[in-house]
């Protein structure tokens, strides 16, 4: 089974492919030559798919719109290349993100039990109304529960809702509002819901895996641990590769 992994930026892509013997050496800036065993496929100018073993890893851009567009294009290109409507058995949204303390501390891993669009909707006199309350659309996707459990166990990760936001949280007040609206949420990031939208339309299951680089709340750049989170992401994919390669849709 082939797996499509979509990250936001090249350093996240390289952290993932490094787990399979690909990725880059050196600083991880995303500008170094790819590692041995990695095939580079150019989907669009500036959009490279790094193929290593059973995994195709794409840096699709920041935010849900870019993530959805890149994922949809990659899925369509693969379908055209293979003459199969669904050449991928799984799509994974992966990268670093903010964690809700104390449940998801810096350097920890989170697997999404639900991929939630936290700010898709409307502001009303009574507060925020999700798009579903407006009578259209959806505001969450549920990854296969059995796969979530297996990946969380293999990676030593916590499982819980991961919020997709278009604007990263930067205040304690906003963090508290998100906690109140989404009890049990473990992390926030910017791409998961977009990836899930594209995967759903292609009929492919989705998973989201995040390594925590910072706390959700006031932006304290001095406290961020991006390097540690990228290393944790590499380690997570190293541990979960057998699970992801061996999982089949009928397992859920």
pLDDT at 29: 43
pLDDT band at 34 (very low <50, low <70, confident <90, very high): low
pLDDT at 26: 42
pLDDT at 82: 74
pLDDT band at 216 (very low <50, low <70, confident <90, very high): very high
Please give the full DSSP string across 209-224, using - where no structure is assigned.
EEEEEEESSS--GGG-
Least confident of 2-16, 127-141, 180-194, 195-209: 127-141
Calculate the average pLDDT of the chain.
Answer: 89
Other C-beta atoms closer than 10 Å to the C-beta of 126 total 6
Other C-beta atoms closer than 10 Å to the C-beta of 193 total 30
Of 33 and 124, the one with more pLDDT: 124
Q: Which helix or strand (DSSP H or E) is residue 194 part of?
A: helix 192-202
DSSP-assigned beta bridge partners for residue 129: 122
**Average pLDDT of the segment spanning 58-76:** 94
Q: What is the pTM of this model?
A: 0.90
Position 218 pLDDT exceeds 90: yes
Of 209 and 247, the one with more pLDDT: 209
Q: How far apart are the first and last CA of the chain?
A: 15
DSSP-assigned beta bridge partners for residue 91: 4, 206
User: What structural domains does the chain harbor?
Assistant: 2-251 (3.40.50.1580)
pLDDT at 78: 86
pLDDT at 30: 44
């Amino acid at each position: 089974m082939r797996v499509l992994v979509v990250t936001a930026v090249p350093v996240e892509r390289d952290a993932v492919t490094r787990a399979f013997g690909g990725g880059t050496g050196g600083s991880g800036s995303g500008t170094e030559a790819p590692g041995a065993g990695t095939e580079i496929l150019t989907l669009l100018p500036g959009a490279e798919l790094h193929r290593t073993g059973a995994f195709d890893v794409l840096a699709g851009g920041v935010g849900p719109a870019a993530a959805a567009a890149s994922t949809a294009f990659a899925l369509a290109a693969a379908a055209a290349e293979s003459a199969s409507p669904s050449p991928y058995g799984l799509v994974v949204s992966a990268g670093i993100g903010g964690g809700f303390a104390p449940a998801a501390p810096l350097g920890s891993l989170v697997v999404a039990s639900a991929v939630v669009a936290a700010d898709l909707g409307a502001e009303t006199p009574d507060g925020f109304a999700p798009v579903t309350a407006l009578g259209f659309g959806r505001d969450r996707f549920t990854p296969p529960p059995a796969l979530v459990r297996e990946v969380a166990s293999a990676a030593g990760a916590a499982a819980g809702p991961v919020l997709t936001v278009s604007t990263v949280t930067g205040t304690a007040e906003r963090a508290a509002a998100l906690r109140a609206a989404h009890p049990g949420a473990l992390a926030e990031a910017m791409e998961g819901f977009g990836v899930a939208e594209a995967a759903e339309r292609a009929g492919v299951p989705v998973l989201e895996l995040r390594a925590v680089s910072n706390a959700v709340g006031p932006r304290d750049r001095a406290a961020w641990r991006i390097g540690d989170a990228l290393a944790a992401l590499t380690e997570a994919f190293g541990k979960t590769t057998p699970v992801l390669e061996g999982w089949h849709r009928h397992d859920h």
